[in-house]
Amino acid sequence: MTRRREGATSELTLIERARRTQLIEVTIELVADRGYAGASLAAIAERAGITKAAVLYHFPTKAAVVRAAHEHALAALVADVAAAVEAAAPANRPAAYVRSMVGHLREHPRHTRMIIEAMVHDDGEHDPAARWGPLAQLIDAARLARGASGDIDPRTTAIIVGGGIDAIVAEQLHDPDYDTATAAEHLVDMLETTISR
């Protein structure tokens, strides 16, 4: 059956932990380098220096490996952004969101490609609101804190800004010299102008 035993994650062997971590890392690398299609079971195994069967000893299916890799990259991003946002005053949180998002993705380009690939290829149910929802809430709260009264739609603003973040990050993927920090400030300016009305 080649089954993994059940039980808490903390009960995993040292080797088990190390392998899982390694497999997640090489999968992220592979997806970043050659896209989803290039991340075959054989390719993952080869880059990890083991056989396909060994990979499937630590994960039930290939999909589980990719899912774990995606969740790993996403969790790091969310943790980073959440920390930055919570450290800021409500009125400044949308800006903090943009800056930390761009910053994190700049520092982790591989994670970035992994996340992008997963977003495009999420054949299956995945709530798109999960992407812009949090930002929309931050915008709402910031407008409340500032007493802004214009009739903007937080959802649309969040969608647009989210797209802008993606585009800035994608540009840096093609041109490593692109100044994403300045671009982020540019985007923050546009956002601030919009939500302060």
Binding site for DNA (CB under 7 A): 1-2, 5, 13-16, 19, 39-43, 49-54, 56-58, 61-63
Question: Cβ of residue 156: shortest distance to its own copies, in angstroms?
Answer: 5
Residues 65/59, Cβ–Cβ less than 8 Å: yes
Name the residue nearer to DNA (CB basis): 8 or 15: 15
| Those residues with Cβ within 8 angstroms of residue 20's Cβ, 6 or more apart along the chain or in another chain | 12, 58, 59, 68
CB 41 within 8 A of CB 55: yes
Residue 123 site contact among its own copies, DNA, none (CB < 5 to 8 Å, cut-off depends on kind): its own copies
Burial of 46 (0-12, 13-18, 19+ CB in 10 A): middle
Q: Which is nearer to DNA, 64 or 129 (CB)?
A: 64
Residues 29-68 that bind its own copies (CB under 8 A): 34-37
Residue with tokens 């997963």: 118
Query: Smallest gap, in angstroms, from Cβ of residue 20 to DNA?
Result: 9
Q: Give the whole-angstrom CA distance, residue 74 versus residue 116.
A: 10
Out of its own copies, DNA, none, what residue 171 binds, judged by CB under 5 to 8 A for its kind, is: its own copies
Could you tell me which residues come within 8 angstroms of residue 83 by beta carbon, excluding any fewer than 6 positions away? 100
Alpha-carbon span 190 to 112, nearest angstrom = 24
CA angle 30, 35, 41 (to 5 degrees): 55
The nearest distance, CB 18 to DNA, in angstroms, is 8
Q: Which is nearer to DNA, 36 or 178 (CB)?
A: 36
Angle at 22 between CA 17 and CA 23, to 5 degrees: 100
Shortest distance in whole angstroms from residue 70 CB to DNA: 15
Q: Decide whether 39 or 84 has the Cβ nearer to its own copies.
A: 39
Identify which of residues 6 and 151 has a Cβ nearer to its own copies in the complex: 151
Binding site for its own copies (CB under 8 A): 34-37, 116-117, 120-121, 123, 128, 132, 152-153, 156-157, 159-168, 170-171, 174-175, 182-183, 186-187, 189-190, 193-194
